[in-house]
């Protein structure tokens, strides 16, 4: 039988559709979350230590993601009953970095056939043929993929960075700007590059209020953190 081949989705593509069984019932993805941002993330296996630390952290931070109008959806190639048993173990037995009695309420997809994992490029043979790498897809409210991060099996994710990426994407959309290296809400943002010699000249001469130009093509302006959070919080 010929094996179905999928091309890996890219930034700017619409998120591939699928229907799946999860720990929160059957979902149609991404249709069920239309109007929300989504973080779809994969993990290699249930009952593994790195994944356990990540799920506890995701669950602990879930309210912060919700405030940013973002739905978390997890995936691994284990089965539903394994998922349920693992999440119960996390809640009833695991204490880590001050986190305990942690209940995971976001959906965790069963993907024994690896159909979804393959469709999203989560199975990478150079790392493993039988486990999904730690992929993270940021999907916007119209179902478009806006950012992708891949981690190897051995490396736990940085959750400050996941929140930062989400807020940066939302801020860029809300204010039509770009964000510089290491940007966090409240830091100066980058304004669009001047589209004409006249605008560039005005900026360099300080005629554009509130804008600081480091050169004609690199200009920044402040946006207060509270103004950003008011726009991007649910």
Domains 18-157 and 176-232 share a fold: no
Instruction: State yes or no: 134 annotated in a binding site.
Output: yes
Q: For 214-232, what is each residue's pLDDT tens digit?
A: 888 899 999 999 999 999 9
Q: For 24-75, what is each residue's pLDDT tens digit?
A: 999 999 999 999 999 999 999 999 999 999 999 999 999 999 999 999 999 9
Model confidence at 207, pLDDT cuts 50, 70, 90, reads confident
Which residue pairs, CB below 8 angstroms and at least 24 apart, start in 165-168?
165/138, 166/37, 166/39, 166/65, 166/68, 166/70, 166/138, 167/68, 167/228, 167/232
Q: For residue 154, give both structure tokens.
A: 């051995």
Angle (nearest 5°) at CA 173 between 195 and 222: 70
DSSP β-bridge partners for residue 185: 187
CA 205 to chain centre: 40
Please tell me the pTM assigned to this model.
0.92
- Is residue 51 among the annotated active site residues? yes
- In the numeric block, the tokens 């593994």 are attached to 48
Under DSSP, is residue 232 helix (H, G, I), strand (E, B) or coil?
Answer: helix
> Which member of 51, 70, 213, 219 is catalytic?
51
Q: Tell me the domain boundaries of the chain.
A: 18-157, 176-232
For the 18-157 domain, the top CATH level (class) is: alpha beta
Model confidence at 12, pLDDT cuts 50, 70, 90, reads very high
Are the C-beta atoms of residues 23 and 108 closer than 8 Å to each other?
yes
Under DSSP, is residue 204 helix (H, G, I), strand (E, B) or coil?
Answer: helix
- Radius of gyration of the chain, Cα coordinates, nearest whole angstrom: 20
CA distances from 141 to 105, 145, 202, 226 (A): 21, 10, 37, 23
Fold of domain 176-232: Antioxidant, Horf6; Chain A, domain 2 (3.30.1020)
The number of residues in the chain equals: 234
Query: Cis (ω within 30 of 0) for the bond into 30?
Result: yes
């Amino acid at each position: 039988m010929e094996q179905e081949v999928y091309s890996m989705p890219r930034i700017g593509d619409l998120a591939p559709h699928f229907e799946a069984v999860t720990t929160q019932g059957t979902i149609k993805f991404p249709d069920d979350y239309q109007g929300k941002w989504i973080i779809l993330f994969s993990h290699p296996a249930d009952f593994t230590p790195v994944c356990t630390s990540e799920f506890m952290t995701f669950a602990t931070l879930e309210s912060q993601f919700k405030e940013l109008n973002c739905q978390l959806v997890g995936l691994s190639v284990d089965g539903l009953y394994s998922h349920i048993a693992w999440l119960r173990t996390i809640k009833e037995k695991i204490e880590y970095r001050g986190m305990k009695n942690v209940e995971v309420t976001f959906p965790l997809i069963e993907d024994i056939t690896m159909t979804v994992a393959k469709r999203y490029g989560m199975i990478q043979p150079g790392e493993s043929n039988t486990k999904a790498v730690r992929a993270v897809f940021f999907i916007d409210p119209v179902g478009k993929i806006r950012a992708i991060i891949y981690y190897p099996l051995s490396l736990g994710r940085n959750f400050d960075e996941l929140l930062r990426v989400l807020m940066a994407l939302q801020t860029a959309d809300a204010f039509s700007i770009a964000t510089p290296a290491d940007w966090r809400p409240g830091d100066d943002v980058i304004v669009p590059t001047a589209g004409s010699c006249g605008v560039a000249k005005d900026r360099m001469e300080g005629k554009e209020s509130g804008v600081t130009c480091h050169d004609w093509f690199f200009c920044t302006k402040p946006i207060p953190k509270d103004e950003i959070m008011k726009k991007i919080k649910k």
